[in-house]
Amino acid sequence: MTINQVLTTDYHTGGEPFRIVPEPPVAIEGATVAERRMLAIGSPEVDNLRKLLCFEPRGHADMYGGFITPPDNEGAHFGVLFWHKDGFSTACGHGSIALAVWAVQTGRVARDPSGITAVVIDVPSGRVTLRVHTAGEQITGVDFVNVPSYRLAERVTVATSCGDIAVDVAYGGAIYAHLDAASVGLAVTPEHYSDLIAIGREVKWALNDSKHARHPVDDRLSGIYGTILYNDLGIDENGNPHQRNVTVFADGQVDRSPCGSGTCSRVAVLAATGDLKPGQILVHDSIVGTRFHARIVAELAADGYPAVVAEVTGKAYRTGEHRFELNPADDLGTGFVLR
């Protein structure tokens, strides 16, 4: 693989990294972002670029990023192909929030003088809209309005090393299993980090090829992307549900943020159980103490299921710019992952 240089701009959203590649130095074929994802999975050139930017020594096992692509049509500002340690994902809410901030800060999307700038992005799971809130030159927050989210299965029994456990399965741009961490004797805290990863991986792989992990209309979106382990923290002073979660996605990666698309799937589950109603806010904390707020902005039917459109509000910050290189003589090549 010959790459002279790759320029990136890096952000974090709620503590979770996102590495943006505005001009990927390899061709990413396809007519739509969804098609590009499938072709990228089978492309050594695109996959090697992913590894170069994600693997050590340039990245790490929990790195995340995206290649900017053309949109599916003129209705969006641009497209993005999301990637992580294990491949290419169908959705990424924290990445979408970072992309919206990047788009406004770089002038790719002109800042609206009203103080609310819409950024529309095509992602593999569909089209998402973000609203960037500004006060003067300062970005004060970003609303992520996702594709419709819905619960696929309720109280599915999974055999694990902790015994039989019950999980809900829900779609929020990607499919997640939802597990009450207390039911396996865990709290969503850094002290339980390794055990949370272990049970999260168990649940994912136990369900990944099951009927519960099938997307009802697009098999490209099938499979359990991650396990959301949550603690119910009760009701806050404003009468809103308050939870803390950690999302263990791909093969053992840990989202440091409260997880954007995962929060949408959490909204879908809580809406289905009646624990989150229109007008309420889900206060959603991460394992490192960062926070998203989420709410239901619409109720509808999608793909044959009762569904909601969730809006997740968070913040993203630029952490730096990079000029990466690959020396042809480097015997480590695109790198390695040590975990």
Question: Given pLDDT bands bounded at 50, 70 and 90, which one contains residue 148?
Answer: very high
Q: What is the CATH number of the domain that holds 249?
A: 3.10.310.10
pTM listed for this prediction: 0.97
Residues 104 and 132 sit within 8 Å (Cβ to Cβ): yes
pLDDT tens digits for 250-274? 999 999 999 999 999 999 999 999 9
pLDDT tens digits for 174-198? 999 999 999 999 999 999 999 999 9
274 and 287 belong to one structural domain: yes
67 and 157 belong to one structural domain: no
166 and 292 belong to one structural domain: yes
Q: Is 336 domain-assigned?
A: no
Question: Given pLDDT bands bounded at 50, 70 and 90, which one contains residue 2?
Answer: low
Calculate mean pLDDT across residues 322-329. 93
- Counting the structural domains of the chain, the total is 2
Q: Is 33 domain-assigned?
A: yes
What is residue 80's predicted lDDT score, i.e. its pLDDT?
Answer: 98
What is residue 232's predicted lDDT score, i.e. its pLDDT?
Answer: 98
Q: What is the DSSP string of 75-109?
A: TSSEEEEEEETTEE-S--HHHHHHHHHHHHHTTSS
176 and 275 belong to one structural domain: yes
Residue span of the structural domain in which 21 resides = 5-145+318-325
162 and 61 belong to one structural domain: no
Q: Is 301 domain-assigned?
A: yes
CA distance 70 to 88: 17
pLDDT tens digits for 83-128? 999 999 999 999 999 999 999 999 999 999 999 999 999 999 999 9
Q: Is 332 domain-assigned?
A: no
Q: Is 339 domain-assigned?
A: no
* Alpha carbon distances (Å) from 238 to 241, 258, 281, 283: 9, 20, 9, 10
Of the candidates 100, 169, 147, 126, the residue with the CA atom closest to the CA atom of residue 37? 126
Q: Report angle CA 48, 50, 54 to the nearest 5 degrees.
A: 120
Q: Is 209 domain-assigned?
A: yes
Q: Is 245 domain-assigned?
A: yes
161 and 285 belong to one structural domain: yes
Mean pLDDT in the chain?
A: 97
172 and 124 belong to one structural domain: no
152 and 287 belong to one structural domain: yes
Active site (annotated) includes residue 92: yes
**From the candidates 54, 92, 259, 264, which is the catalytic residue?**
92
231 and 172 belong to one structural domain: yes
63 and 178 belong to one structural domain: no
40 and 103 belong to one structural domain: yes
66 and 176 belong to one structural domain: no
Most distant CA pair in the chain, distance: 60
Q: Is 331 domain-assigned?
A: no
Question: Given pLDDT bands bounded at 50, 70 and 90, which one contains residue 33?
Answer: very high
